[in-house]
Chain A
Amino acid sequence: MTLRPYYIFSSGRIMRRENTIYVENEKGEKKALPIEEVESLHIFGEVEMNTKFLNFLSQHGKPIHFYNYYGFYSGSFVPRSKNISGELLVKQVEYYLDNEKRLYLAKAFVEGATFHMLRNLRNYDGTEEFVRIISEEQAKSFEAKTVPELMGCEGRAREAYYQAFNTITSGRLAMNKREKRPPKDPINALISFGNSVMYSVVLSEIYKTELNPTISYLHEPRERRFSLSLDISEIFKPLIVDPIIFKLINNSMLKEEDFEDELDFCYLTSSGKKKFLKEFEEKLETTIKHRKLKRSVSYRTLIRLECYKLIRHLLQDEFYKPLKAWW
């Protein structure tokens, strides 16, 4: 049986009855979600719930993530972790405090990110100049002596990368520059939403391991977020989120009603979010043949394997090398 995340857009109530989750919309229509099939819940609507329901999720080890009206991640309820390793936590901290050790991991995340950015651009004509800038910044990032310096390389690479989006999408839904808060055009809205969902999926995978999600290497743990999730997301955003954006735009799958413009602010409507999530879900379940495991694994599993690789690195078992899509 495959577990999958459930995305809930309707407003109303969500509750436990016996051993099943029921989602009840405003019209009083109920839909059952068998807990055995739920990997995680993502709530986009306005939903009421009680502690009995949360305890039920906790019992079964299922996280629930919440997003605000605009689709931005606002927080999670995650069951008490059963996966605790004091030894690993100590190592995680050690590798943060030691500048050299931290830099090694931070560079690896940037390397994975830029590799996948370049891999995306490779498929499109007219992106040579952007490829050149990203490759240059990638080369510089290997030489960086400090994390801020590295962040600078990563930032410039990403800026060039996002500029290439207009070329890739032939100017449909053009974007001026990457703007996060708030996103000002459809492409920015898609990127922000996609990154938001990516972040929570990575967090779900981290929670299945003994890693502590607050201790990170590229991002500062001070960001008051589960910043390890941000670190690992870097590798997967260009691999998973961005190709979906290109597909949605280039195949004209998005319509006017999928976006809403407010004064100086553009965001995805429910229909837009649903279109994105459908593709996102399909992508996560796509499998590839893993060369070392000699079995098929999904993109979602690749995220967890990345966590395992990090654990192996921290336990001095095997040097961490970021995922580089080989297919």
Chain B
Amino acid sequence: MKINYLYVCERKLWLFDRGIQLEENSEKVLLGKLLSEYSYPSETRREVLIDDLIKIDVMGEEEIREIKYSNSLASANRIQILYYLYYLKMLGIERKGIINYPKMRRMEEVSLTPEAEREVEQAIKRVEEVLSSPRPPEVKRKSYCPKCAYYEFCFG
């Protein structure tokens, strides 16, 4: 589930859910993929797919890691890894989370506090609300719209 899209754009979340997926055409998405492929080459457990639902960039002994290009959508990155932590906890696996920004030489630690758990639960509920709508949420122009793979779809 693209829970992070909830924090990026509800319309994108809805469209993605309905199979309107434009990321393939996006150079930014490609760059992100390449970055996570080539960063941390010594790690062995990479791109671990769990229940066909969540894909974890790097699975460590004590932590899971997400590799991101930039922190310009930091809250979206954060909810994504929190959701993974939450999902793993349901499966009885406890980890902490790390978001790596190799290009910026920075990292952020994320842990699943009770407060964060409530945040995830609320986000899941909100995702369900958005997706239950028969029509896509209206276009809302944001500063980062022109960089989005859906820009031409929404505004063209």
In the bound complex, do residue A317 and residue B156 qualify as a contact, i.e. CB atoms below 8 Å apart? Answer: no
In-complex Cβ contact of A84 among B19, B153, B156 (8 A): B19
In the bound complex, do residue A292 and residue B155 qualify as a contact, i.e. CB atoms below 8 Å apart? Answer: yes
Q: Is B102 interfacial (CB 8 A cutoff)?
A: no
Instruction: Kindly report which residue of chain A lies nearest to residue B137, judged by CB atoms.
Output: A317
In-complex Cβ contact of A88 among B19, B153, B155, B156 (8 A): B19
On chain A, the residues within 8 Å of B19 by CB distance are: 83-88, 210
Instruction: Kindly report which residue of chain B lies nearest to residue A318, judged by CB atoms.
Output: B139
Residues of chain A at interface, number, CB under 8 A: 25
Question: For residues 241 through 292 of chain A, which have their beta carbon under 8 Å from a beta carbon of chain B?
Answer: 290, 292
Given A88-B20, A311-B20: A305 touches B156 (CB 8 Å cut-off): yes
On chain B, the residues within 8 Å of A87 by CB distance are: 18-19
A315 to B136, CA, bound (A): 7
Residues of chain B at interface, number, CB under 8 A: 15
Total number of A-B contacts with CB less than 8 angstroms? Answer: 50
Shortest C-beta distance, B92 to chain A (Å), equals 34
In-complex Cβ contact of B21 among A83, A292, A301, A317 (8 A): A83
Q: Is A308 interfacial (CB 8 A cutoff)?
A: yes
A210 to B136, CA, bound (A): 16
A114 to B146, CA, bound (A): 33
Q: Is B134 interfacial (CB 8 A cutoff)?
A: yes
In-complex Cβ contact of B156 among A83, A210, A290 (8 A): A290
On chain A, the residues within 8 Å of B155 by CB distance are: 292-293
Q: Is A177 interfacial (CB 8 A cutoff)?
A: no
Question: For residues 50 through 80 of chain A, which have their beta carbon under 8 Å from a beta carbon of chain B?
Answer: none
On chain A, the residues within 8 Å of B20 by CB distance are: 85, 88, 210, 311, 315
A317 to B18, CA, bound (A): 13
A281 to B136, CA, bound (A): 36
Q: Is A304 interfacial (CB 8 A cutoff)?
A: yes
On chain B, the residues within 8 Å of A84 by CB distance are: 19
Instruction: Kindly report which residue of chain A lies nearest to residue B135, judged by CB atoms.
Output: A316
Given A82-B24, A84-B19, A87-B18: A308 touches B135 (CB 8 Å cut-off): no
Going nearest first, the 9 A-B pairs with the smallest beta carbon separation are: A85-B19, A305-B156, A87-B18, A316-B135, A308-B153, A317-B136, A292-B155, A293-B155, A308-B156
In the complex, given contacts A295-B146, A308-B152, A315-B20, what are 17 additional A-B residue pairs having Cβ atoms less than 8 angstroms apart?
A82-B24, A83-B24, A85-B19, A85-B20, A87-B18, A88-B19, A210-B21, A292-B155, A297-B156, A301-B156, A305-B156, A308-B156, A311-B153, A315-B18, A315-B135, A316-B135, A317-B135
Point out residues on A near B: beta carbons under 8 Å. Answer: 82-88, 208, 210, 290, 292-295, 297, 301, 304-305, 308-309, 311-312, 315-317
